[in-house]
Structure 1
Amino acid sequence: MVIVTVREEQAIRQMTERLVENYTETYSPEHIESAVGAARRKFEGRPVRQFVPILIERLVRRELEKVVEEAEAAAVALEKAAQPTEAKTFALPDLRRLWSANKRATLGVAAAVVVLVLAVVLVVREPVSQPPVAAPAPAAAPTVVRGVVGSEKMAFFQDPKVIDALARNGVRVEVEPAGSRQIATSIDLSKYDFAFPSSEQAAERIQRQNNVSAKYTPFSSPMAIATFTPIADLLAKAGAVRPGPVSTLDLRRYLDLVRTGKRWDELPDNTAYPVRKNILISTTDPRSSNSAAMYLAAASYVANGNTIVQGQAAEQTVLPALARLFVGQGYTENTTEGPFNNYLATGMGPTPLVWIYEAQYVEATVRGQVKPEMTLLYPSPTVLSRHTLVPFGATGDRLGRLLSTDPELQRLAAEHGFRANDAAQFAKVTAERNVPVPTDLIDVVATPTYDTLEHLLDGVTQSYN
């Protein structure tokens, strides 16, 4: 619990600094810190802490933007009221409430409102009689769709813009996070309308177990490695990284370094990271997480002579090399949020190399969390994680179609770093943020079948004992 608390404190502190920087023109640091404290108190005593910093940030951003949006809406209403052809009966906003929320945030808007009020007084005429307007019919209650999703998609489903886009389509989604392998193997799916793991292999098993033929793949993400420029430079000197506009990690050379037990302090000319521990990529737990299974899939292809592993003989041949990639790490977490948040918060000391979804790095860049010394590597070869939704009825099917075809939801998926079906959306986001990602994925290999992947994962699991 101490480790979790330290990480949470670090994440909240960094999030607060980011909010102060983002809203420095409109809110005082004291006001923002107070809002963070109020939001944080709502989660006191909750046993699951992993997503608390993300939830706090969502609540605070929504609160900070609320007052300004209301003031701007009031200004628009006054402008409309100033038109001479319309009736002049309108309600002024409660300027005292807007002013009390934050004086700096509303000073400019309030001044504009005063000017508009004076203009209205000067041009006002006799009200134009209007026929009575019938009250609008009450909106139909949205359809609630419940699902279990890979943890890397929680931020997407908790995004207020995503929630609003779904609501406009008459849908409200309630999701719970889990490791993708857990979703496919150990979670009771009978209480959900859909399952949304991070791979088509896990989705395939869910389909077979539940006798479902339908599936949707609204977006995907290649696997990548989050690291730091000094680490990438060290590995380049060791012949494991090929520098370029989009740098790559040669998995064959990397497996050689792991096989020989090479330590960081044994690399030549290493003054940046002379640490006496083995060169290893940090991953999640292969017994529960899809991202670790994707790591194993890419490594197994290279260990098997650049060939997809098939059959028991090939499985037994590659298992020793694969086991070394995991058992030497020590404790590993169940979801990619854990190691990646640690990477963002603590630097290269404990986590010089982290196996992640490309989408996580892109999303963190969009949110301003990536520091200048951080960089992204692509394993060569890499594998593509196709986020696949399996519906269990009409409501889940409706959500799958919306996520796959609705332009607004596809755009928002790209903002969260996913490669949407509409490739232009992802290209636009990464170009605007100068994220060094490949436009076209070339060095991508297929993963083994679900059964073969399960055999390899079971073999690695046994090596822990």
Structure 2
Amino acid sequence: MAVDAAREEKALREVTNRLVDDYGEAHTQERVEAVVGAVRSRFTGHKVREFVPILVERIARRELAHPGSKTEAMTVVPDKSPSITLGDNSNSDSRNLQDILGKVTANKKLVGAVAAGVVVVLGVTVALSVRQPDSAPASGAPAALTVVHGVVGSEKSDFFADPKVADVFKKHGLQVDIDPAGSRQIATSVDLSHYDFAFPSSSSAAERIQRQRGVSGKYTPFSSPMAVATFKPIADLLTAAGIVTPGPAPAFDVQKYLELAEQGTQWDQLAGNTSYPVSKNVLVSTTDPRTSNSAAMYVAVTAYVANDNTIVRGAKAEDYAVSRISRLFTRQGYTESSSDAPFKEYLAGGMGPIPMAWIYEAQYVDAAVHDQLKPDMVLMYPKPTVLSQHTVVPLDDKGDSVGKLLATDPDLQRLAAEHGFRPQDPSLFTKVTAEHHAPVIPDLVNVVDPPDYDTLEHLLDDVAKAYGN
């Protein structure tokens, strides 16, 4: 129970931080915190807690965006269970919540679905949806837009929320609404019948979706190598330990790091450590490999190195690799289900909670473009690294039109570069990183291929078993 409470507190802190970022110009931080606290209080005493942060964020956003207005209705559509409607934010709100949570408590199937993180539960688009403006369309613009629904890796939420991206789609007669999720979640537990396209962050997750849905088409509009976000004092410590090679874009030696981690070395055991004398294992913080593609890419890289710098093939190699890398995950404690939250914590929290974070390069570049980096923040490239191929899997004709535009429209390709992704034209990415002084390696050489689809799934399943649940 204590673990569940800690997770809820962590999730609600992240909700508050997101709302402060989004509504800081209109409301003080104290006002945002007060709204979150007031909304949260409506759920006091209810035993089912898994979806409380989702509802709190949804209701709080409505109240901050339209102070004094009623909260619009939200429909719970859990799999094939009967629908339940959450009423408006009137005096009867508490009574409605009591009824809903009572029904949810009695429905164990629903609780399991929520706990698994199925994005379509509650029918609520939690992250920023790209919506048609209320104003009338400009002269010559289409009178009506075709709405296209997609589920995308969470690291692409800001891209789809960009008004400039929405405008490009609008020129083509489209309104693209998205739900964010961990990429492995998209491939394993999300009900894709609700969507026109899926946009996970790797070719492996896309391949699984294609197999399940019987889809042959796909688009890969952009990519992003995996990297490690850290801080200068940490990079200096690891340089002294022989793990990091300094430079404009420092190199992080995965082989030496794995050897250090296998010994259970803690930060305060590193020689000459006065900048981060903490009794915690020297570990890169990742997301949950059971749900997230970024963690799956971490498995791919570390398994390759653990397997004597060879792509893992066969049961014997899988078992050996897992025996060496599973502790890289199980010693971390609680991990997030997708990559957006831990990177935001890295940006906001400093090196105390997350001295090293496994991220997409695009996240760091995007933060540089939007002036979110602090002077002591450092981007390191793993040696070797792996390329995450962001892949659109169209599930119908509408989804196909979105995938085709993302891959071919020059404005969308340029905007992808502005959000840190490497589009099909490398010069677009080079231009953005040069303008914003982002310390990247334009042409990566030490890049390995992930194992084939089935092998990676076996590795992820075996790592998941190491958690003991």
Global fold match (TM > 0.5):
yes
Amino acid aligned to 1:382: T
Structure 1 residue aligned with 2:390, among 366, 387, 391?
A: 387
Corresponding residue for 1:5?
12
How many angstroms apart in 2 are the aligned matches of 1:229 and 1:156?
28
Cα distance in 1 for partners of 2:357, 2:32 equals 33
Q: Note the C-alpha offset of 1:409.
A: 0.6
Alignment partner for residue 330 of structure 2, among 327, 332, 343? 327
Which structure shows the bigger proportion of residues in helix conformation? Answer: 1
Secondary structure at the counterpart of residue 141 of structure 1: coil
1:158 counterpart (152, 161, 172): 161
- Could you tell me how far apart the structure 2 residues matched to 1:155 and 1:430 are? 18
State the shift of 1:33 in Å: 4.1
Aligned partners of 1:309, 1:169: CA distance in 2, in Å? Answer: 44
8 Å CA contact retained: 2:229, 2:377:
yes
Q: Which residue of 2 aligns with 1:277?
A: 280
- The structure 1 residue matched to 2:426, chosen from 398, 423, 427, is 423
TM-score (norm 2): 0.75
1:101 counterpart residue number: none
Q: Counterpart of 1:401?
A: 404
Distance 1:436 1:233 in 2: 17
Contact 1:7 1:345 in 2 (8 A): no
Letter in 2 for 1:224: A
Output one character per residue of 1:356-411: Cα deviation in whole Å (capped at 9) or x when no partner. 00011111111111100111001000000000000012111111110011111111
TM-score normalised per structure 1: 0.76
**1:140 to partner: Cα distance:** 3.0
Q: After the TM superposition, which of the residue ranges 202-211 and 139-148 deviates more from structure 2?
A: 139-148
Q: In 2, are the aligned partners of 1:198 and 1:387 still within 8 Å (CA)?
A: yes
Distance 1:408 1:36, change over 3 A: farther
Relative to 1, partners in 2 of residues 1:51 and 1:164: Cα closer, same or farther, differing over 3 Å?
farther
Contact 2:15 2:53 (8 Å CA) reproduced = no
Residue 48 of structure 1 pairs with residue 51 of structure 2: no
Unaligned runs of 5+ in 2: 1-7, 41-51, 67-137
Q: Is the 8 A contact 1:216 1:390 kept in 2?
A: yes
Pick aligned residue for 1:201 from 204, 213, 234: 204
Q: How far is the alpha carbon of 1:9 from its aligned partner?
A: 4.0
> What is the CA-CA distance between 1:15 and the residue it aligns to?
7.0
Q: CA deviation at 1:202?
A: 0.6
Q: How does 1:216-235 map to 2 (within 5 A)?
A: 216-235=219-238
Write the mapping of 1:259-298 to structure 2, written as runs, cut at 5 A: 259-298=262-301
Residue in structure 2 matching 1:451, options 447, 450, 454: 454
- Name the CA shift for 1:357/1:51 in 2 (closer, same or farther; >3 Å): farther
How far did residue 13 of structure 1 move? 5.3
CA distances 1:266-318 after superposition (whole Å, capped 9, x unpaired): 11111100111110000000001000000000001100111000001101111
How far did residue 141 of structure 1 move?
0.9
2:441 counterpart residue number: 438
Q: Residues 218-266 of structure 1, C-alpha deviation per residue, up to 9 Å, x if partnerless?
A: 0100000110000000000000001112111000000000011111111
Seen in structure 2, the aligned counterparts of structure 1 residues 13 and 35 have a Cα distance that, compared at 3 Å, is closer
Q: Does residue 315 of structure 1 match 2:312?
A: no
Letter of the 1:228 partner, please give it: F
Taking the aligned partners of 1:402 and 1:441, their CA distance within structure 2 comes to 27
Q: 1 CA distance for matches of 2:366 and 2:284?
A: 21
- State the aligned residue count: 377
Distance 1:449 1:375, change over 3 A: same
Distance (whole Å) between structure 2 residues aligned to residue 14 and residue 158 of structure 1: 14
Once the 2 structures are TM-superposed, how far is the Cα of residue 143 of structure 1 from its aligned partner? 1.3
The secondary structure found in structure 2 opposite 1:48 is helix
The answer on whether the counterparts of 2:14 and 2:341 sit within 8 Å (CA) in structure 1 is no
- Say if 1:418 and 1:426, in contact at 8 Å, map to a contact too: yes
Q: What is the DSSP-based 3-state SS (H/G/I as helix, E as strand, rest coil) of the residue aligned with 1:219?
A: strand
Partner of 2:377: 374
Instruction: Quote the residue 1:81 is aligned against.
Output: none
Q: What is the alpha-carbon distance in structure 2 between the residues aligned to residue 368 and residue 50 of structure 1? A: 29
Deviations 1:430-454 (A, max 9, x none): 1011000011011100000111011
After superposition, give the CA deviation of every residue in 1:299-341 in whole Å (9 maximum; x if it has no partner).
0110011100000110111111110110000111101112111
Question: Does the C-alpha gap of structure 1 residues 136 and 407 become closer, same or farther in structure 2, counting only changes over 3 Å?
Answer: closer
36 and 366 in structure 1: CA distance in 2 versus 1, 3 angstrom threshold: farther
Contact 1:11 1:345 in 2 (8 A): no
Relative contact order: is structure 1 or structure 2 higher (C-alpha 8 Å, sep ≥ 6)? Answer: 1
Change (3 A) 1:266 1:166: same
The AA in structure 2 aligned to 1:48 is I
Which secondary structure does the structure 1 equivalent of 2:366 belong to?
helix
In 1, Cα distance between equivalents of 2:34 and 2:246 = 42
* SS of 2:368 mapped into structure 1: helix
Partner amino acid, structure 2, of 1:217: T
Task: Measure the CA separation in 1 of the matches of 2:413 and 2:33.
Answer: 30
Q: Residues 138, 272 of structure 1: CA spacing in aligned structure 2 closer, same or farther, 3 A cutoff?
A: closer
Which residue number corresponds to residue 170 of structure 1?
A: 173
Q: Structure 2 vs 1, CA of residues 49 and 273 (structure 1 numbering), >3 Å: closer, same or farther?
A: farther
Q: Which residue of 1 aligns with 2:247?
A: 244
Specify the code of the residue in structure 2 equivalent to 1:303.
A
CA distance in 2, matches of 1:161, 1:225: 29
2:188 to 178, 185, 189: 185
Contact (CA 8 Å) 2:19, 2:32: kept in 1 or not?
no
What RMSD, in angstroms, separates the aligned Cα atoms of the two structures? 2.8
Q: 1:34 Cα shift?
A: 5.9
CA distance in 1, matches of 2:140, 2:255: 64
What does residue 131 of structure 1 align with?
none
The structural deviation recorded for 1:183 is 0.9
- The amino acid that maps onto 2:54 is V
Within 1, Cα distance between the matches of 2:20 and 2:34? Answer: 12
Secondary structure of the structure 2 residue equivalent to 1:261: coil
Partner SS state of residue 451, structure 1: helix
CA distance in 2, matches of 1:357, 1:59: 31
Alignment of 1:140 onto 2:143: yes
